Structure 1
């Protein structure tokens, strides 16, 4: 059984105003999983998770079932709840699926993007750069998630948004292990800029190519170990 450490308990969380307790528990638990506060393969004690995340049993149980459906947790009969393990084979399969869906996202977003959308994406990317300078891994991951969520919102397809949300959460667990590598975050920031620049001129082909480069860069970072 494992609990999150003191530093992880101070992790940033997105704005929870107006959210139900179930949604708050889901978001807090998901963030702890994607930032590897709970390690792959760990068995979790529900009471400890309740304490870590300052949530009650019912919201945590609801979150467990939701996160198991998304592949982040595994409910093992007679043993309990386990954080889903990571494997390079899983990562490579995930990348194949992300490539198809992220390219589709760019094709849908390009004709729909507004100047306000571009401003918001640029603002998030500037915050990522600042978090990188401060070496705040959790904040970088939270902001990166916001960046990709915003892209999916611009695409305007709710089903695709849900698919990308699951894929990105799974990808972030792999990504977390490479964030300490020298120069990696600068690559990510520049790749985000390329996506924004292509969207700003509504160039669907360039946006799709920039998204593909971004995901393949993620693959290369994983394979470098």
Structure 2
């Protein structure tokens, strides 16, 4: 562990209990690697904390940075970080919502013009998205939006099955210990059914936005920001598949019901129930994807009649 920051060491210790391998030799600075059920994720060990002062689903992120530290230019480091975060969130949303399509080549200068941001924050944001597996930075060639296969998404969901039930259990455990106030619990219950089930056809943007918001809230209540940040990254990788393949299978009422079961168990401080409901929630999505995989014809062959 020599040369690694304290929070990376803590993260490795906490995650080994879940069988997740962290940290590879040869990585520099605060970079770490997670290998979960065969899927590799690169991660900056200085975690991010979500703040819900922004509208639901916007994914506002606040980095834990020093407010007094100065950059080489003399500007406060926090100001520069906010531009990087802004670029990161806006590019990420364009990738998740298919404004930037899987396999599409991205031009850094064009993104700068589109976002009205300088090259440095955009470049750093793209590097971070590369580490999280949403884009691929190809030396001397450019940047390509990473295409995720159905098999890859299933592996990501397997990872979520490992991580997110533990977050739900931790949140319920903290409720039972009296560590979470009533306002936070009321907000969780409201978020659980925030998507209007009566809208036809379902609003995919509202659905995915509120789904991400709910899972972020569970992660925040767990009191484990490291695991929560990893969960966010997994969830965002899988969210894109709603836009790609699952949009026609959205069942808002079923999702609201599953979210409500999870929220009720957390609010009641029943950790095993909370974990079981979260497991069932993610497993239902995985089962749906497996069914889609079985119904997809093999390239070059006609489906069976």
- Pair in the same fold by TM > 0.5: yes
Instruction: State whether structure 2 residue 178 is matched by structure 1 residue 116.
Output: no
Q: Deviations over 1:23-54 (max 9, x none)?
A: 11111111111122211111111223223333
Summarize the alignment of residues 53-202 of structure 1 with structure 2, pairs less than 5 Å apart.
53-113=115-175, 114=180, 115-129=182-196, 135-202=202-269
181-190 or 131-140: bigger deviation: 131-140
Q: Is the 8 A contact 2:195 2:256 kept in 1?
A: yes
Deviation at 1:109, TM superposition (A): 0.8
53-62 or 144-153: bigger deviation: 53-62
When normalised by structure 2's length, the TM-score is: 0.64
Deviation at 1:16, TM superposition (A): 8.2
Q: Is the 8 A contact 1:175 1:222 kept in 2?
A: no
Match in the other structure for 1:6: none
- Alpha-carbon RMSD across the aligned residues, in angstroms, is 2.4
When normalised by structure 1's length, the TM-score is: 0.85
Structure of greater Rg = 2
Q: Measure, in 2, the Cα distance between the counterparts of 1:224 and 1:64.
A: 34
Match in the other structure for 1:8: none
Match in the other structure for 1:210: 277
Q: Measure, in 2, the Cα distance between the counterparts of 1:93 and 1:15.
A: 27
Unaligned runs of 5+ in 1: 1-11
In structure 2, do the counterparts of structure 1 residues 165 and 131 end up closer, same or farther at CA, with 3 Å as the change threshold? farther
Q: Is the 8 A contact 1:13 1:28 kept in 2?
A: no
Deviation at 1:63, TM superposition (A): 0.6
Q: Measure, in 2, the Cα distance between the counterparts of 1:54 and 1:141.
A: 26
In structure 2, do the counterparts of structure 1 residues 62 and 141 end up closer, same or farther at CA, with 3 Å as the change threshold? same
**Number of residue equivalences:** 214
Decide which structure has greater helix share.
Answer: 1
SS in 1 for 2:174: coil
Q: Measure, in 1, the Cα distance between the counterparts of 2:139 and 2:104.
A: 15
Match in the other structure for 2:108: 46
User: Runs in 1 of length 4+ with deviation above 6 angstroms?
Assistant: 16-19
Decide which structure has greater strand share.
Answer: 2
In structure 2, do the counterparts of structure 1 residues 55 and 178 end up closer, same or farther at CA, with 3 Å as the change threshold? same
Q: Which has the higher contact order (CA 8 A, sep 6+)?
A: 1
